[in-house]
């Protein structure tokens, strides 16, 4: 069930990145429902189910970053130009802007709740940032810039 939800949601992201028309409201609603399902699995699942949820979350993040890059390339805009466009209410009807802001806030809150649950239910060694050896090999972890709008850069 959760794998099917995951695949469906990722297909919506891929379609949007490929330039196909996607109902953003549907994507936001399904994302919220999926995050709630993940949270429940983390709270109530077996250690194996929790591990599977974490793998899905990691895969989802990687794929969203990849699809975002494709979307930028297809749009012909830089990341900053797209963020500037998305942050400007003049580019949307008042109804679109309000719905967009509400959805963005709800998804952000759901993501933060999911992260809190993951941190609480996982053993400490499973949510460490990086080992000392990994940092020596790869260098320090690069953090993503988050603008005043709250958008995380790819």
Average pLDDT score over residue span 87-101: 92
pTM here is: 0.66
Q: What is the token pair recorded at 148?
A: 């005043």
pLDDT of residue 97: 92
Percent of the chain with pLDDT over 90: 15
Q: Are 2 and 38 in contact, with CB atoms under 8 Å apart?
A: yes
DSSP state letter for 135? H
pLDDT at residue 108 is higher than 50: yes
């Amino acid at each position: 069930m959760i794998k099917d939800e995951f695949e469906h949601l990722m297909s919506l992201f891929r379609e949007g990145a490929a330039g196909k028309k996607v109902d953003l409201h549907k994507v936001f609603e399904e994302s919220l429902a999926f995050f709630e399902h993940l949270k429940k699995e983390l709270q109530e699942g077996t250690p194996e189910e929790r591990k599977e949820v974490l793998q899905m979350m990691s895969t989802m993040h990687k794929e969203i970053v990849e699809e975002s890059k494709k979307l930028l390339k297809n749009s012909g805009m830089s990341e900053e130009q797209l963020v500037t466009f998305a942050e400007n209410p003049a580019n949307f009807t008042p109804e679109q802007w309000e719905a967009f802001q509400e959805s963005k806030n709800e998804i952000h809150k759901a993501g933060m709740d999911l992260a809190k649950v993951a941190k609480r239910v996982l053993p400490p060694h499973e949510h460490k940032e990086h080992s000392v050896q990994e940092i020596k090999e790869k260098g320090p972890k690069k953090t993503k810039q988050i603008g005043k709008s709250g958008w995380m850069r790819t």
